């Protein structure tokens, strides 16, 4: 028996018009990097970065690998040592075989200041700090080193006392090679002996330094002025357009019959374009060739001293990118970890509105969140933080895109109709062309081995 006195809501809905949203997509992020980078339109498809010539410099890392439970040095990576840059492969392989494992514990002094440097040290895993006794006896921190970095190379090659001491911050493992192994190879190889002698005399160039321009300054009278010219790189780096692509397929039955009130093809294209832009940002950060994290010069890499990102660590980064720093880029978990460290110290960072959103800043430089910054390690507890200067006029980091492409729907992104097949499916080729260029090495710095799982008891 129906006791209802009026028409029910369920039945009434059959005659009502529904208010609909466009399809929502969880994977859409603010993509602050794409919005903050200045973009340069490339007319020819290739962007060449001409630089002043510099002396050869590697990545300041000696890689290691596991071999039946032990660790070995990659012989070719020993070329990171300036005096081994031109050594032959057989010599490098023999020297790599002379490395032995040395474990260390947190707080242990690995190498002491002023002591004889009879070993070259390569950190396999772990973190240590270089310290020195100052002029008035104070203890001063020089640098923090981590996985793959080495120390004592200069003292090891020149048979000089170590000018600093190295203290482990964490437990870890190192590989060491005795000075006798290098001496024995130099006795058999005249070329290596000559290079070592020149290196010990200080005649070699400083790796990474620009070829000097001869100048005179502060002189009086009429001395002979030096003549000079500026040398360019013989093989400047060229950036070719990278891309993200996909083929969007829409059945004609759908586009013909179900196209109101929303254009099905347009909605499908919009969501696909969002996915392409998300992939674009991820590649610009992490691509092994042109990704920003993979294009940081050795001197621009900073190790997190205590693991968690602290104000001191970000200040150290600002000391590397001190010329017009633009912004930091960090994973949201890293930003949260930095906020905890600021709270612990009682120095809450200033919040400023950028791009229509409240963002944390440090020393006036905004910290842009991006979930494209990778979190690695157990439980994703390790990440990195990037700092960059941006702009072509500022010799910073820039985004690259073609000046124009056929069927362009957004800058650098095209949507091309590929026709309808025998199954009545229309295909559209969507392509986003892009790249990122670092114009000068000091335009970008990275904070490495950042731990995001440190919490504090504020009670």
> pLDDT at residue 363 above 90?
yes
The strand pairing partners of 357, in sequence order, are: 354
Asked if residue 261 and residue 118 are part of one domain, the reply reads no
Stretch (H or E) spanning 199: helix 190-200
- Residue 228 placed within a domain: no
Summarised one tens digit per residue, pLDDT across range 128-168 is 999 998 888 888 888 889 888 998 888 888 888 888 999 99
Q: For residue 448, list its beta bridge partners.
A: 303
Tell me whether residue 168 is exposed, middle or buried, using C-beta atoms within 10 angstroms of its C-beta: 0 to 12, 13 to 18, 19 or more. buried
Q: Which residue has the higher pLDDT, 77 or 209?
A: 77
Supply the angle between the helices 311-320 and 332-345 in degrees, to the nearest 10.
Answer: 110
Domain of residue 97, CATH code = 2.60.120.10
Contact between 284 and 434 (Cβ < 8 Å): yes
Nearest-angstrom CA–CA distance, 261 and 266: 12
pLDDT (average), residues 424-447: 96
Same-domain pairing of 270 and 416? yes
179 within domain boundaries: yes
Contact 323, 393 (CB under 8 A): no
Same domain, 163 and 289: no
CATH number for 414: 3.90.1690
H or E segment at 133? strand 128-133
The reply to whether 103 and 37 lie within a common domain is no
Which band of pLDDT confidence, cut at 50, 70 and 90, is reported for residue 387? very high
CA–CA gap between residue 109 and residue 106 (Å, rounded): 9
| pLDDT grade for 413, boundaries at 50, 70 and 90 | very high
Question: Of the given ranges (54-58, 362-366, 448-452), which has the lowest mean pLDDT?
Answer: 54-58
- Residue 224 in any domain: the answer is no
Residue 283 in domain: yes
| 142, 252: one domain | no
Full domain range(s) for residue 333: 32-47+238-451
175 and 104 in one domain? yes
Whole-structure pTM value? 0.84
User: Are both 329 and 279 inside the same structural domain?
Assistant: yes
Domain boundary among 174, 200, 226: 200
Q: What's the number of domains the chain is made of?
A: 2
User: Which of 147, 178, 200 corresponds to the end of one domain?
Assistant: 200
Give 402-407 contacts, CB < 8 A, sequence gap 24+: 402/41, 402/42, 402/45, 402/241, 402/433, 403/41, 403/42, 403/43, 404/41, 405/431, 405/433
**47: phi then psi, degrees, rounded to nearest 5:** -120, 115
Query: For the chain, what's the residue count?
Result: 459
Mean pLDDT of the chain: 91
Which are the contacts of 230, defined by CB distance < 8 A and separation ≥ 6?
A: 52, 213
pLDDT at residue number 57:
57
**56 or 45: which leads in pLDDT:** 45
Residue 208 lies in a domain: no
Tell me, yes or no, whether 310 and 404 share the same domain: yes
Query: Are 307 and 375 part of one and the same domain?
Result: yes
Task: State whether 139 and 86 are in the same domain.
Answer: yes
Based on the domain organization, do 38 and 92 belong to the same domain? no
Note the Cα 410 to chain centre separation in Å.
27
In a domain, 159, yes or no: yes
Count of C-beta atoms within a 10 Å radius of residue 124: 22
Q: Which of 170, 200, 230 is the last residue of a domain?
A: 200
Residue 114 lies in a domain: yes
Q: Please write the tens of the pLDDT for every residue from 299-336.
A: 899 999 889 999 999 999 999 999 999 999 999 999 99
Asked if residue 59 belongs to a domain, the reply is no
Q: Are residues 169 and 243 in the same domain?
A: no
Q: Encode pLDDT of 46-91 as tens digits.
A: 999 999 887 655 667 888 888 778 899 999 889 888 888 888 889 9
Question: In which element (H, E) is residue 253 found?
Answer: helix 252-257
Under 8 Å between Cβ of 336 and 373? no
């Amino acid at each position: 028996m129906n006791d209802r006195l009026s028409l029910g809501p369920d039945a009434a809905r059959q005659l009502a018009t529904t208010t609909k949203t466009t399809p929502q997509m969880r994977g859409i992020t603010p993509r602050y990097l794409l919005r903050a980078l200045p973009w340069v339109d490339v007319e020819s498809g290739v962007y060449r970065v001409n630089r002043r010539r510099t002396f050869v410099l590697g990545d300041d890392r000696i890689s290691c690998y596991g071999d039946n439970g032990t660790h070995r040095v990659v012989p070719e990576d020993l070329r990171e040592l300036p005096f081994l840059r031109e050594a032959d492969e057989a010599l490098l392989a023999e020297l790599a075989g002379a490395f032995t494992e040395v474990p260390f514990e947190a707080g242990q002094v690995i190498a002491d200041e002023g002591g004889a440097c009879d070993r070259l040290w390569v950190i396999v895993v772990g973190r240590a700090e270089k310290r020195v006794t100052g002029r008035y006896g104070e203890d001063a921190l020089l640098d923090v080193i981590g996985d793959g970095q080495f120390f004592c190379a200069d003292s090891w090659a020149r048979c000089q006392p170590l000018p600093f001491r190295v203290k482990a911050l964490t437990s870890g493992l190192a590989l060491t090679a005795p000075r006798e192994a290098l001496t024995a190879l130099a006795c058999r190889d005249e070329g290596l002996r000559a290079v070592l002698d020149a290196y010990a005399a200080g005649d070699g160039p400083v790796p990474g330094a620009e070829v000097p321009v001869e100048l005179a300054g502060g002189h009086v009278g009429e001395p002979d002025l030096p003549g000079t010219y500026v040398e360019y790189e013989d093989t400047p780096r060229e950036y070719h357009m990278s891309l993200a692509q996909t083929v969007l397929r829409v059945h004609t039955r759908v586009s013909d019959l179900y196209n109101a009130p929303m254009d099905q093809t347009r909605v499908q294209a919009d969501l696909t374009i969002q996915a392409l832009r998300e992939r674009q940002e991820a590649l610009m950060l992490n691509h092994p060739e042109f990704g920003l994290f993979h294009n940081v010069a050795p001197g621009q890499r900073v190790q997190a001293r205590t693991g968690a990102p602290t104000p001191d660590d970000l200040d150290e980064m600002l000391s590397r990118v001190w010329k017009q720093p633009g912004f930091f880029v960090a994973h949201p978990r890293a930003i949260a970890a930095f906020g905890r460290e600021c709270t612990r110290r009682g120095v809450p960072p200033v919040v400023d509105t950028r791009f229509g959103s409240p963002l944390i800043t440090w020393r006036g430089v905004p910290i842009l969140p991006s979930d494209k910054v990778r979190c690695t390690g157990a439980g994703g507890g390790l990440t990195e933080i990037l700092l960059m200067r941006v702009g072509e006029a500022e010799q910073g980091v820039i985004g690259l895109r073609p000046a124009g492409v056929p069927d362009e729907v957004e800058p650098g992104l095209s949507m091309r109709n590929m026709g309808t097949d025998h199954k009545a499916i229309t295909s559209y080729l969507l392509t986003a062309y892009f790249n990122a260029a670092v114009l000068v090495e000091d335009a970008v710095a990275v904070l490495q081995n950042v731990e995001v799982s440190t919490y504090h008891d504020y009670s």
